[in-house]
Structure 1
Amino acid sequence: MIINRYLFKEIALSFAATLLVLTLIIVGNTFVRLLADASTGNLPTDLVGNLLWFGSLKQLIRLIPVALLIGMMLAFSRLYRDSEMAALRAAGFAPRHFYRAIFSFVLPLTLLLAVLVIFVSPWLETNNAELRREINERPEAAGIPSGEFVSSGTAERNYTALAEAIDTSHTVMERFFIRVKDGSNEVLIWARSAVLFIDSGSGERVLQISDGYRYESDPEHGGMTVIRFGEHSIRIPLRDYTSSSSLASMPIEELWQQTDNPARAELQWRIAIIVSAPLLALLAFPLSYTAPRQGRYGKIGVAILIYAVYASILASVRGMMERGDFPQLPGLWWIHLLVLGLAFWLLRKYYGKPS
């Protein structure tokens, strides 16, 4: 029991330190990217914090398996370096004794990971999608800052827009002007207010203009038509908007009832994140075997490479399943079996047949 507690403590501390370092790297990279978008006007500054929070949590969940692999490699590499593993082996400790301590930590962590993947991840995806939608409905994200003329398009088809002011909610443009040219046709619109929103059906941006005038030229007969309106809507290509997939935010019970290829691929992907934690823990112990005078960190690079190949194959096969190019069975399961086979092969190579 004393040895089990000692190994549990070593694994837990190494895992926590590794996860902390990886989290700091991910949060730093995410913050720099969001800050760059905010500085160019593509992202409202008041939403940077929310996007950083949701984005970092989503990445943190996916980092748990690789942090477990690297943390265990660091813990057992230290034990090998300090000859503690040799002493434990001489005292009669077999791999099954080490795995007893390993899985006393890994099993609760896997249950926590399952809760995060099944319940928290869809909630994060839903909130992140809502934030992205709000951003794309704001005038700043459409390239219409307050008090500046903006133009876009070609010589034949283009527009010029101006919003004299934007209210405190960052949604309503006050005293709005837009000029749209399509070939020989030219339309001028002035209104007291305008609101930009995303059409839920088509995914296109719609500009809803209230209380204004529409001036339209007549190239055939000359002159201009003037129309006063209370409400007027036009579709304009103010930068592309791509809605995110709803599968990532779908609850597990709804996802389970779907039978199409993308839904099956998403379901197996979520299960793969959960299964990868005990699989990588099973692999980490024999992979961390270090011969005398061998470098402490020599095997960590190999472990990272194995994880990179493992994750890349999972992502590639998932994409093939979504497109219908790979059958739902075996799906992603054969990849897990390969990792499991590699773990048992390494165990037999370094520790022989189980006694």
Structure 2
Amino acid sequence: MILRRYMTRQVASTTALVLGFLVVMMLGGRLIRYFGIAAEGNLDIGLLFVIIGYNLPYFLELILPLAFFIALMLVFGRLYVDQEMAVINASGVSRGKLARLMTPLILALFVGEAALSIVGKPWGVRSSEAVWQQQALTSAFDLIRPNEFISSGNYHLYVGSLSDDKTQLQDVVLIQSEPSKKSADNTDHSINKDTITLAKRAEQVENAGSGVTQLDLFQGRRYEVGAGSLKYNQVGFDRYRITLTESSKEVVTENNIETQEIGPLWQAATGSVQVGSADALRAAQGELGYRFTLPWLMIIAPMLAVPLAQVRPRQGRWLRLFPSILLFVSCALGIISLKNAVGKGSVSVWAYAWLVLGFMALALYMNWGSRFQHRLRVRFEDKSLGSVDNSIKDSNGGQL
């Protein structure tokens, strides 16, 4: 019990220290970039740390398994260098049993990594994109000048006058340019359709929902005009609400697959609901496999760290640290590359399982390979000695 508490405390504290160091390194460059955007006036300084907080699960998703692996290497390496492992082994506790003493910590980190991968990162990315969309619209509204056109995405806005807080617009002309579509006879001729909306006033909708920005237009008319066509549609309205930015979770596509919750993502990956294209289906399968595979890095980490941390006297615990980190990082990079490969349809989604099983098999060989070879060698030597004894007995008439 004392040994379990000691190992758990040592590994947990070292993991926290390594994790803090890696987070500061990873977020440092992103923070400097955001400061530059804020200095240019394209980002509200009050939202700077909000966006950093939303992006934190995105970084922790890959940093946490690496920090745990490095902590295991440091703790086990110190046990070998300080000859504490020899004392522990002499007391009847093998290195495998020592690693199994940290099972509660490993399971806790496994659950935490699963929560980050399945729930935390999609929520953070979705919330961050919503903040950026709202900030982009706010920046566009800040650029509004009376009697001038401004553009935001596929919208072009003209305002005759506006209030001091730039939320109430007067004499509004809003032009929406839609992408080209094929004509009804499915020929190569494309039809460009523009929607022109005229209104006496407009105001931005408050509490429109996360990731959705809307605008209310009052007392106006709406025209749908097709380029090269003599026909148009005209509609009058007293109040008309338009959506300037769509929520990222409305439709599952290959572009917003990282922001999807696990429920819609599972339905899209299994074909329970119809998605936009075959590419979206493969992207959903790749993202789903990616989220379910990352937590297994918490199981692979101790399986690899226990044999890799073993060093001989006077070698130092830093000798194997960097090669071991490269081996573990190759596993994480393999999972990331499989996400892209599955999304492109190059490999099946079951490649995630084969990758995890392959690294587990490698870890088992590193832990038990030498023992198996030793047992086979001893058994072979015993058989050879037995055959020699039998031959001696036969030559001496059954007597030695």
Alignment of structure 1 residues 152-301 onto 2, 5 Å: 168=165, 172=167, 245-258=255-268, 259=270, 260-301=281-322
- For residues 104 and 327 of structure 1, the distance between their equivalents in structure 2, rounded to whole angstroms, comes to 33
Give the match's secondary structure for 1:110: helix
Aligned residue in 1 for 2:71: 71
Runs of 5+ in structure 2 lacking a partner?
A: 176-197, 206-212, 221-236, 250-254, 271-280, 376-400
- For residues 163 and 370 of structure 2, the distance between their equivalents in structure 1, rounded to whole angstroms, comes to 68
- For residues 44 and 103 of structure 2, the distance between their equivalents in structure 1, rounded to whole angstroms, comes to 45
AA in 1 matched with 2:13: L
1:336 aligns with 2:346: no
- For residues 158 and 26 of structure 2, the distance between their equivalents in structure 1, rounded to whole angstroms, comes to 38
Q: CA RMSD in A?
A: 4.3
Percent of pairs identical after alignment?
Answer: 25
Aligned residue in 2 for 1:216: none
Give the match's secondary structure for 1:298: coil
Aligned residues: 320
| Structure with larger Rg | 2
AA in 1 matched with 2:130: E
Give the match's secondary structure for 2:102: helix
Q: 1:242 offset after TM fit, Å?
A: 12
Q: Is the 8 A contact 2:56 2:124 kept in 1?
A: no
Deviations 1:292-339 (A, max 9, x none): 1113222221122123322222212211111212122x2312221221
Q: Is the 8 A contact 1:144 1:161 kept in 2?
A: no
Alignment of structure 1 residues 17-56 onto 2, 5 Å: 17-56=17-56
Please report the TM-score for the alignment, with normalisation by the length of structure 1.
0.71
Q: 1:73 offset after TM fit, Å?
A: 0.8
Please report the TM-score for the alignment, with normalisation by the length of structure 2.
0.64
- For residues 91 and 150 of structure 1, the distance between their equivalents in structure 2, rounded to whole angstroms, comes to 81
Deviations 1:33-61 (A, max 9, x none): 21122222332333212111101233223
Change beyond 3 A, Cα 1:349–1:298: farther
Aligned residue in 1 for 2:389: none
1:109 aligns with 2:143: no
Q: Is the 8 A contact 1:145 1:163 kept in 2?
A: no
Give the match's secondary structure for 1:135: helix
Aligned residue in 2 for 1:223: none
Q: 1:191 offset after TM fit, Å?
A: 8.7
Runs of 5+ in structure 1 lacking a partner?
A: 153-158, 181-188, 197-204, 213-228
Give the match's secondary structure for 1:332: helix
1:346 to 366, 371, 375: 366
1:307 aligns with 2:328: yes
